[in-house]
Structure 1
Amino acid sequence: MKSISHVQQEMLNRMELHRELSAGGAAIKPALQLDEPGQPGVMQSFTDSLHAVDAQQHQAAQAMNAVDSGRSDDLVGAMIDSQKASLSFSALLQVRNKLSSAFDDIMRMPI
């Protein structure tokens, strides 16, 4: 499973490629063929990121429940897991917003 920062970097690289192609007037492949066969696409990368963030949130919830029920006394670890999950979720939302904005920009481009 890829880390959220790795997926974000991949998405930013793809967005930069799209920006360069559109600015240079180069011929752009149709959107359905943009990803090379056998390579994970943007949707797969985003889905992997979503699952990674979900796993972090479940881990944080389990750590907090363990502290609440008295099974663990690692309050600091539980709080760190909680902050990591929160930060990952915020980063995922920012990437989603960037992708949505990029899609809107593409849709507004004249043909």
Structure 2
Amino acid sequence: MASQPTNAISAEQLMLSKMETMRTQVQPPEFVVSANPIDKQSLNAPLSFSQAMTNVLDSVNQHQSVASQKMTAVETGKSDDLVGAMVASQKASLSFNALMQVRNKVVASFDDIMKMPV
């Protein structure tokens, strides 16, 4: 009976040594979490509220002018890209609606601040 535990220990040691050999043969690549590349760059420079609103207004205006150009080209027969014109039109409409919602939130917030007692 004393020989059974030694066989069990040796079988365990044999299994562990085989596992260690396999582990050394197959080294998985180390999982390294690197810093966010956007944080490394200076893309997120400080921006004033007026500059942010100007950028958004310019973007919405650009969407609307592209949609207008594409719709005009389809109407005059210079282009047959009706789908592209409709997508541009919807994109301009969505961006304008989003701008109006942001404007309404800003105005409501300003009104709330003005109603606060000093």
TM-score (norm 2): 0.60
Please show how residues 1-111 of structure 1 align to structure 2 within 5 Å. Answer: 39-111=46-118
What are structure 1's unaligned runs of at least 5 residues?
A: 1-37
Moved over 2 A (4+): none
Q: What SS does the corresponding residue of 1:60 show, helix, strand or coil?
A: helix
Distance in structure 1 (CA, Å) of the matches to 2:114 and 2:65 = 36
Shift of 1:46: 1.1
Distance in structure 2 (CA, Å) of the matches to 1:76 and 1:68 = 13
Shift of 1:48: 0.8
TM-score (norm 1): 0.63
Aligned length in residues? 74
Tell me the C-alpha RMSD between the 2 structures. 1.1
Name the structure, 1 or 2, with higher relative contact order (CA <8 Å, separation 6+). Answer: 1
Distance in structure 2 (CA, Å) of the matches to 1:107 and 1:44 = 23
Q: What SS does the corresponding residue of 1:86 show, helix, strand or coil?
A: helix
